[in-house]
Structure 1
């Protein structure tokens, strides 16, 4: 089912039954902006559109063009293969929680595709990719109020570590991990 192929120019491409996971393109900026606008108001301000409307689509295009987020280079666009539309992202980001460079799984999908299994499907592909890359464990942090993401992580075999970062304003962050 899930396959990864060795792409040219060090570009990661993962394929599942319904998804192609690939690097960001400038043309994907509008979808990333839409994700920013849909975020729950409890998400901390640096990850939401600010009072001045930033980041704009143009800001995000610039980030992608300049590869300003090289630290999240393995955060891949999720594109539906049948429709050809971008619906979110899933991938790995640097983690300060793990040892020996163990990364963190991250995913976010447009609300219109929630409850269709895309986050779980994409995450399984990323887990296989991480294991094939030699990682022994992945981390994931999730706000205590984010029950949908907590369910996805549980399906994937992530377990809560007992570590919690309290945040009365935005909701506590729960630390989870999964051996590969």
Structure 2
């Protein structure tokens, strides 16, 4: 199993693409993270949006403040979040004998859909992961979430399995280092 991600594992400077800035989360991102967490459309495949008052009370001052988490900005506006963490080996799905693969996650607001920003951001994150780590990356999403499965395919993920989790059939994909 891979070791947990640490601050030393993650880029010290933001990642820039042609149209985007990917940077660590800051306190100013909190309102956008609350909005993302409340949105029932964005969270359709993760149990629905949560109550705003609950999120306001529970969310830390700097949301997603841990190694491997990046806010995606376009022209100074938050258009998504990408995270890389270790897939919990106790959960279903694995490609390494002991599990603990790197796992890519993302969330984008509805207003950001259809612009190609998630593909651009995902490719940038995976290019950095390929340069830093020599190991597969996995992704898990509901089979019913066709938009996330299409994004995973654009990012080079192929199906490695399906399983039941959280009351729904899950799609488990893998991308090996150097996949275009």
TM-score range, shorter chain: 0.7 to 0.9
Asked if the contact 1:74/1:91 (under 8 Å) is kept, the reply is yes
CA distance 1:98–1:75, shift in 2 (3 Å): farther
RMSD (CA atoms): 2.5
Asked if the contact 1:91/1:106 (under 8 Å) is kept, the reply is yes
Alignment of 1:77 with 2:71, yes or no, is yes
CA distance 1:29–1:98, shift in 2 (3 Å): farther
**Unaligned ranges ≥5, structure 1:** 1-8
Q: Specify which structure has the higher proportion of helix.
A: 1
Greater Cα shift, 96-105 or 143-152: 96-105
The residue aligned with 1:55 is: 55
Deviation >4 Å, runs of 4+: none
- Alpha-carbon distance between aligned partners in 1 of 2:103 and 2:45, rounded to the nearest angstrom: 21
What's the CA shift for 1:149? 0.8
- Alpha-carbon distance between aligned partners in 2 of 1:40 and 1:74, rounded to the nearest angstrom: 21
Aligned residue-pair number: 160
Asked if the contact 1:136/1:179 (under 8 Å) is kept, the reply is yes
**Unaligned ranges ≥5, structure 2:** 1-9, 89-93
What is the TM-score with the length of structure 1 in the denominator? 0.78
Q: Secondary structure at the match of 1:11?
A: coil
